[in-house]
Amino acid sequence: LRALLQVDAGYYMQERSAQSLPTAYGPDLGSGTNLRRVFLGLQGKVFGDWNYYFLYDFGGATTETPGKVLYAYMQYDGLAPWSFRVGAYPAPINIEDSTTSGDLIFFERNSPSNLQRNIAGSEGREGISVLYTGQRVFGALSLTGNKLGDGAKAYGAMGATAVPNYDEQTAVSGRISYLPISNEHAHWIVGANALTVFNLPNLVPGGAASLSTTPGATAKGSYAFADVPEFSVDSNGTQLVSTGALSASHVSSWGLETAGNWGAFYGQAGYYGYYVKRAGIAYNVFSAASTSSVQTVTPSSNSFNGWYVQAAYMLTGESRSYNAATGSFTAPKPSKPFSLKDGTWGAFEVAARFSELNLNSHKDDPANIVTGWTSTAKTYTYYNTVRGGDQKILTLGVNWYPNSNIKLALDYQYIDVSRLQAPAAVTTAAAPSLAAVNGGQKLSTLAMRFQLAL
Amino acid sequence: LRALLQVDAGYYMQERSAQSLPTAYGPDLGSGTNLRRVFLGLQGKVFGDWNYYFLYDFGGATTETPGKVLYAYMQYDGLAPWSFRVGAYPAPINIEDSTTSGDLIFFERNSPSNLQRNIAGSEGREGISVLYTGQRVFGALSLTGNKLGDGAKAYGAMGATAVPNYDEQTAVSGRISYLPISNEHAHWIVGANALTVFNLPNLVPGGAASLSTTPGATAKGSYAFADVPEFSVDSNGTQLVSTGALSASHVSSWGLETAGNWGAFYGQAGYYGYYVKRAGIAYNVFSAASTSSVQTVTPSSNSFNGWYVQAAYMLTGESRSYNAATGSFTAPKPSKPFSLKDGTWGAFEVAARFSELNLNSHKDDPANIVTGWTSTAKTYTYYNTVRGGDQKILTLGVNWYPNSNIKLALDYQYIDVSRLQAPAAVTTAAAPSLAAVNGGQKLSTLAMRFQLAL
Amino acid sequence: LRALLQVDAGYYMQERSAQSLPTAYGPDLGSGTNLRRVFLGLQGKVFGDWNYYFLYDFGGATTETPGKVLYAYMQYDGLAPWSFRVGAYPAPINIEDSTTSGDLIFFERNSPSNLQRNIAGSEGREGISVLYTGQRVFGALSLTGNKLGDGAKAYGAMGATAVPNYDEQTAVSGRISYLPISNEHAHWIVGANALTVFNLPNLVPGGAASLSTTPGATAKGSYAFADVPEFSVDSNGTQLVSTGALSASHVSSWGLETAGNWGAFYGQAGYYGYYVKRAGIAYNVFSAASTSSVQTVTPSSNSFNGWYVQAAYMLTGESRSYNAATGSFTAPKPSKPFSLKDGTWGAFEVAARFSELNLNSHKDDPANIVTGWTSTAKTYTYYNTVRGGDQKILTLGVNWYPNSNIKLALDYQYIDVSRLQAPAAVTTAAAPSLAAVNGGQKLSTLAMRFQLAL
């Protein structure tokens, strides 16, 4: 039986000028409180070689949701160091991903890592994996599908319906890492990863009209790259960087990363690339006034990238320790738990992180088509620009661990989102121009977390 | 503490011609994966004679839903072999119904049994029961109500709403079975059952206009007979046979069934009848051009039926054993659990099933009324046809039980649905004719299940 | 590990004349069954001074909902009798509030107490509290926020959305009580409480048009006072008394209460006041035919009140005992548990309650403005009347406790709601008059509960 409770309270301090942004761009992020995670877990072993793990969450990012499955898998360990796992779980994608929620240094995983894991992994992802957990090598190769609850009947007999899926997502992902240094004072891990979604969920049934042939229809496959600003008390879950839904035929990503500790010091960094091959979109294209024909335009494929570096230092001398089973590091254990009687205070940690996630691609690309033509004016639609925004976040944090079950954290973030609003179609009799209206903002946040982990 | 995990992956192989069917008839069943069941259970006893059982499910057929109650009951056993139970649980309806989910031979209960249990029983049904669990006789008489979560405020304060209920369903159901043979080599059980819903959930408040008097209003009571094709990875939960909502005043069903094992061989069969007494529907009926009056037409009552036969054989010699507490059989326990060290492989089972569920009634009945009349043409509405379809399924399966907690299953299904699409109203100046447009299809499925049961 | 199961069945006996009321006023309350509470709890202690408590509910008032958090908190007890608690839990508001669900004498908390606790407390409320639990004094001071699941993304990735929150509710509440008498035969407690919501959840983003300046916009803050009639099997959750959403800038409440036992006799009573400071509402106000200007009208602030008295007597001599940790009383423990063998029958209790909740304010106040003006007629809108209704309920109950885990309850209620329907705008060329159409009714209910508490 395991449990994790994270109680968050936070304030967003936005510029006054942000108020004039459209709602989707976050004019007013909602300060408040949030039970970020309320985990109930069950772990065990049957017949020696078969392990299982169930983990339910009753909390939620941005707003708490009813109890749902994060992990529910069975695993065969009879051929160690090889393991075979099937069920729902976060297929190992990167180091930050493999660090469990209770062991994170900051409130949320950094945006570049988080974006990557959400593509084909993260909690509740159905899949089957082969794992290799050696002393110096960690490897994982996974075939993954939809996340739990995706699809039309999410609330089944009870009323609400989500977007239907005709055939689910299929992806392959792999992560490998190696430890050049592993001794009692220091660990150093280097790693690489890659994933590709070769089958996006089908949003229309086979045989139905799709956006690639019929203007206004639903795309057969699409994908949106987006993330919250590494903090999610805002109950509207506003994502300051977001490409919106991109018509897509497949999506992939890769990364290089490293992490290590040297006594009480801990450092971690990574670089990730993201790629989407765009699918065609059909338009009514005008060749003269009132004369149009359906044409399929395929936007240029898009590449995005992100990177981060983060470090922590235990003022009280403990260290984060390497966990060979996950290929990542765990939270420190205080050597002197807090006790009024003994006059001991537990452990203290200071930490800093910088991350950048750039979701712009062809952001000033003026490629357009004429989707309207009256006698005097033409309407120009820009189809190539993807203005997801460029998000830079500096986070400073201090963590107090009264004992190995309790943690109190205080984090400050400075967030700088440089972003243009998505261009609207332009109707003019003159030469058209691609608009460049600000959709970004600068803000800072201050947040506290109370955590209990069993 | 109990747990059950079922991880399903499956593919639907449909004819190309199915693509032209309307969406409700399943033009593209979604292949993919599904956590069919993620059970967490709690069972115990207080003060000797009082038992309780809580069972929560975080998985779901077709798509996973948030955690919900399947069983939550308390039971008094102080007068054994009589028991008194109250709460939410599947009121015993038939043998397949009484076989717990982890003990099923195939992925899903057969459609005829499943249809019957869903009328007044199945998981999450509120009720009160008297049970008799003797050595040779199993009996149950139940008064049941709504299923949990039915009604208007299913998601209460949180947003979504379902169809409101003004007064809930009330039904009586009974199951009785007898064992002519019960020895260490063989068990043979024969049984009968019946149920009647004498009070369907009221969909309109007392005093409000109802479909039986006012064209276009909501029916006071209605019932839809439908089932998925004995396999439910399709995240849209498409039901290939479905009568649609039928205006109804009451619904009933009965069945005859048998089951037994003879050493490693197991067989089971059943025949069920279903009946719905239709309630009146009001129409604007035209007696001349532009001259209409409201008339109530009561469709003919409908009878449907279904039957199945299924058999399994343990290649490794174990047998399914009879459970007197439920009046049904449990999964075999492998005599030699899988072990690489010992070179033992657990137990293997082969199985086959054939089922037919016929939800057609008056399917070619041309009874009609005139619901439109212009100078030249009349509109004819057919009110008697119920074209739910006739579904035949052949299932072949092989099960591997590495040990008593783990099961891997591979199933192949051939599904033949013979069905006409529901007729539209016909507007013509000539003699009208009842259309007969195909709504059925043939398909096969291939599926795997990984199961952990604690 | 803790559990609570409450299985309710109930019937509403309404006057025939109620059928002509509009739906919101309860023309047909739905009789039926309900799993009122299906609790699963986890309680424990780490490192001596740190307590935690998780409580999940899979049942629900009016209709069962998926599993949700009621309690999830951590507490530091290292400075007893002072405690510090953070997480989600019902911040202590009044005596009835502090009585746990399994210890209630009747089916539901009385309406006056329930209304008060729902403003800034009740299960699932996020907060931080300082508690003082002495032998003769119980005190609690809390800073509370939203309830869990409030806000836009309640069903997050899964589909449904609720009303978005831009900045969450913030409130302060305090409860204090003192025991003048505390001995083995009797306990007597007197108490007072107060709460104020100084920050209602923002329903529009900062900078957006709000109802206080723009006709037809959404209010920045609003609050609705309402309650079900102390019984909630009706799956539509109809609230017979309800003010509807009132534009508001802040809400507060206070109360005086007492409770005590004298051997087998138990009594409890309380009086509460509720106050809402109204926020302005903008209208298009006409000064002549076809001539209007936007004007802001601020309705008069509203005061409401409620009171109750309840008593119980144990026929078998046991007594309700005082719990210093919560400042309230717990259910009696049968001295001779029910046993057919021993011929003992457990404990029996009879109980009665009377409560009144008056949610009328300015109910006949004819203050109005002209919101339409044609040549011949003006439209008058009444802005000051709040016709929530005056609800009086007499409850009679008998409880059987076969043992300390099981309880069976039978309750009869007589409910008298005196209420006018909210006035519509009046369009007339003559002098306008404020309509007084009946919106109330008299009814009685009969209900049974089966309860298991572990």
The domain that holds C387 is classified in CATH as 2.40.160.10
Radius of gyration over every alpha carbon of chain C, rounded to an integer in angstroms: 24
Q: What are the start-end ranges of the E strands in A15-106? A: 32-46, 50-57, 68-79, 82-88
Q: How far is A294 from chain B (nearest CA, A)?
A: 23
Above pLDDT 90, what percent of chain A? 87
pLDDT higher than 90, residue C375: no
- Residue numbers of C between 18 and 37 with CB closer than 8 Å to B: 19-20, 23, 27-35
Q: For residue A161, name the pLDDT band (cuts at 50, 70, 90).
A: very low
Tell me the three state secondary structure of residue A91. coil
Q: What per-residue confidence (pLDDT) applies to C1?
A: 86
| Full residue range of the structural domain in which residue C118 is found | 2-453
For tokens 């509403």, name the residue.
C12
Hey, are the CB atoms on A403 and C47 less than 8 Å from each other?
yes
Q: Which residue of B has its CA nearest to A70?
A: B58
Q: Say whether residue C1 is in contact with chain B using an 8 A CB cutoff.
A: yes
> Chain A partners of C158 at a C-beta cutoff of 8 Å?
65, 149, 154-155, 160, 162
Q: Say whether residue C86 is in contact with chain A using an 8 A CB cutoff.
A: yes
Q: What per-residue confidence (pLDDT) applies to A63?
A: 80
Tell me the three state secondary structure of residue B44. strand
Q: What per-residue confidence (pLDDT) applies to C156?
A: 38
List beta partners, residue B401. B347
Hey, are the CB atoms on C406 and B79 less than 8 Å from each other?
no
> Chain A partners of B450 at a C-beta cutoff of 8 Å?
74, 86-87
**What mean pLDDT is reported for chain B?**
93
Q: Say whether residue C67 is in contact with chain A using an 8 A CB cutoff.
A: yes
Nearest in space to C356 (alpha carbons), one of C111, C191, C116, C117: C111
State how many domains chain A has: 1
Q: Say whether residue A145 is in contact with chain B using an 8 A CB cutoff.
A: yes
Q: For residue A167, name the pLDDT band (cuts at 50, 70, 90).
A: confident
Which tokens sit at B331? 């999964």
List beta partners, residue B266. B261, B312
Q: For residue C157, name the pLDDT band (cuts at 50, 70, 90).
A: very low
Q: Say whether residue A356 is in contact with chain C using an 8 A CB cutoff.
A: no
- Taking the C-alpha atoms of residue B431 and residue B377, their distance in angstroms, rounded to an integer, is 10
Q: Say whether residue B82 is in contact with chain C using an 8 A CB cutoff.
A: no
Task: Select the residue from C23, C34, C63 to test the B interface by mutation, using most B Cβ atoms within 10 A.
Answer: C63
Hey, are the CB atoms on A156 and B65 less than 8 Å from each other?
yes
Q: Say whether residue A11 is in contact with chain C using an 8 A CB cutoff.
A: no
User: pLDDT per residue over C335-355, tens digit each?
Assistant: 999 999 999 999 999 999 999
pLDDT higher than 80, residue B202: yes
Q: What per-residue confidence (pLDDT) applies to C151?
A: 64
pLDDT higher than 80, residue A379: yes
Q: Say whether residue C38 is in contact with chain A using an 8 A CB cutoff.
A: no
Angstrom distances, CA of residue C168 to CA of A11, A17, C122, C229, C307? 11, 22, 16, 29, 30
Q: For residue A141, name the pLDDT band (cuts at 50, 70, 90).
A: very high
- Taking the C-alpha atoms of residue C155 and residue A237, their distance in angstroms, rounded to an integer, is 12
Q: For residue B159, name the pLDDT band (cuts at 50, 70, 90).
A: very low
In this prediction, residues C153-161 reach a mean pLDDT of 42
Peptide bond into B81 cis (omega under 30): yes
pLDDT higher than 60, residue C282: yes
For chain A, which chains pass the contact test of at least 3 CB pairs under 8 Å? B, C
Q: What per-residue confidence (pLDDT) applies to C40?
A: 95
> Chain B partners of A164 at a C-beta cutoff of 8 Å?
30, 235-236
Which tokens sit at B61? 């057929």
CB A320 within 8 A of CB A332: yes
Q: How far is B189 from chain A (nearest CA, A)?
A: 33
Which tokens sit at C398? 């008998």
**What mean pLDDT is reported for chain C?**
93
The amino acid at residue B384 is N
pLDDT higher than 50, residue A156: no
Hey, are the CB atoms on C153 and A236 less than 8 Å from each other?
yes
Could you tell me which residues come within 8 angstroms of residue C407 by beta carbon, excluding any fewer than 6 positions away? C331, C399, C400, C401, C449, C450, C451, C453
**What mean pLDDT is reported for chain A?**
93
Q: What per-residue confidence (pLDDT) applies to B162?
A: 55
Q: Say whether residue C431 is in contact with chain A using an 8 A CB cutoff.
A: no
pLDDT higher than 70, residue C271: yes
Hey, are the CB atoms on C405 and B46 less than 8 Å from each other?
yes
Angstrom distances, CA of residue C421 to CA of C23, C48, C161, C439? 12, 57, 30, 5
User: pLDDT per residue over A415-448, tens digit each?
Assistant: 999 999 999 999 999 999 999 999 999 999 999 9
CB C390 within 8 A of CB C376: no
CB burial of residue C245 (10 Å; 0-12, 13-18, 19+): middle
CB B330 within 8 A of CB B373: no
Q: What per-residue confidence (pLDDT) applies to B225?
A: 97
- Taking the C-alpha atoms of residue B381 and residue B372, their distance in angstroms, rounded to an integer, is 9
Radius of gyration over every alpha carbon of chain B, rounded to an integer in angstroms: 24
**Which residue in the set C155, C166, C208 is minimally distant from A65, CB to CB?**
C155
Q: What per-residue confidence (pLDDT) applies to C152?
A: 53
Q: Which residue of A has its CA nearest to B6?
A: A87
Highest mean pLDDT among A109-118, A231-240, B144-153, C142-151 belongs to A109-118
In this prediction, residues B338-343 reach a mean pLDDT of 92
Which tokens sit at C269? 């009573």
Q: Which residue of C has its CA nearest to A29?
A: C166
Q: What per-residue confidence (pLDDT) applies to B290?
A: 86
Q: How far is C258 from chain A (nearest CA, A)?
A: 33
Residue A180 neighbours by CB distance under 10 Å: 11
> Chain C partners of B209 at a C-beta cutoff of 8 Å?
none
Q: For residue B157, name the pLDDT band (cuts at 50, 70, 90).
A: very low
**Which residue in the set C58, C150, C337 is minimally distant from B69, CB to CB?**
C58
For chain B, which chains pass the contact test of at least 3 CB pairs under 8 Å? A, C
For chain C, which chains pass the contact test of at least 3 CB pairs under 8 Å? A, B
In this prediction, residues B308-330 reach a mean pLDDT of 96
Tell me the three state secondary structure of residue A112. helix
Q: Which residue of A has its CA nearest to C59?
A: A66
Residue A113 CB-half CA count within 13 A: 28
Q: What per-residue confidence (pLDDT) applies to A151?
A: 63
Q: Say whether residue B155 is in contact with chain A using an 8 A CB cutoff.
A: yes
In this prediction, residues B241-267 reach a mean pLDDT of 97
Could you tell me which residues come within 8 angstroms of residue B412 by beta carbon, excluding any fewer than 6 positions away? B395, B396, B397, B444, B445, B446, B447
Q: What per-residue confidence (pLDDT) applies to C8?
A: 95
Please state the length of chain C.
Answer: 454
CB B64 within 8 A of CB B32: no
In this prediction, residues B392-413 reach a mean pLDDT of 97
